Amino acid sequence: MPRRRAVRTALVLPVLPAAAGLLGGCSDRQGHRSGAPGPSSPSPDPVLILRERAARDSSALLARYDATIAAHPRLATRLRPLRAEVARHVAAFGPPTRRAPVSSPSPTPSPTVSVPPREGAALAALATAERTLAGERAGALLDAPPELARLLASVAACGAGHVLLLKEN
């Protein structure tokens, strides 16, 4: 069985250039993030912050699926299983703060999500969103405790699978 470091390295290497910008320059030499509370004030739990961000990102992806299904009803049969998995990801990470859970049974379009008018372009936009989010999650593995790292890795792998399914003709 591969060691955690080997798996983490294999997942992170393809997205290292993008992750480097996120990981580097965000903290000083003592590990304090810029704009974060100093040593005298209580700092928020980094695991909770990571979980909330993952839930928000999955919620945004779910809204993208909903908007695409609403704009292109002919794609609904193809997209519903992928959408259902993304809804399960939202539930696995926990609902985002200050928002209701988004695991609604029927898709509802989000007014902030723009969907390309052509079906092929809409699928490509979904694939790009899935690929980007999978890369961000792979980069977040480095800061996650083991249990959350396994969840992030699993969801990132699922997103990479979605990319392949969205690119099928």
The overall pTM is greater than 0.75: no
Say which DSSP state 148 is in: H
Nearest to residue 166, comparing CAs of 58, 69, 56, 87?
69
Look at residue 27 and give its three-state secondary structure: strand
- β-sheet bridge partners, residue 33: 27
Question: Residue 140 and residue 151: Cα distance in Å, rounded?
Answer: 11
Tokens of 84: 């259902």
What domains can you pick out in the chain, each with its CATH number? 4-10+45-167 (1.20.1260)
**What is Dmax (Cα atoms) for the chain?**
57
Contact 82, 65 (CB under 8 A): yes
Q: How far is CA 109 from the centre of its chain?
A: 19
Nearest to residue 89, comparing CAs of 67, 66, 56?
56
Question: Residue 10 and residue 63: Cα distance in Å, rounded?
Answer: 30
Question: Residue 149 and residue 112: Cα distance in Å, rounded?
Answer: 30
Residue found by looking up tokens 């292109």 in the block: 72
pLDDT values of the chain reduced to their tens digit, one per residue, 169 residues? 455 444 444 444 444 333 333 333 333 334 444 444 545 556 778 888 999 999 999 999 999 999 999 999 999 999 999 999 999 999 999 855 544 444 444 444 445 789 999 999 999 999 999 999 999 999 999 889 999 999 999 999 999 999 999 998 6
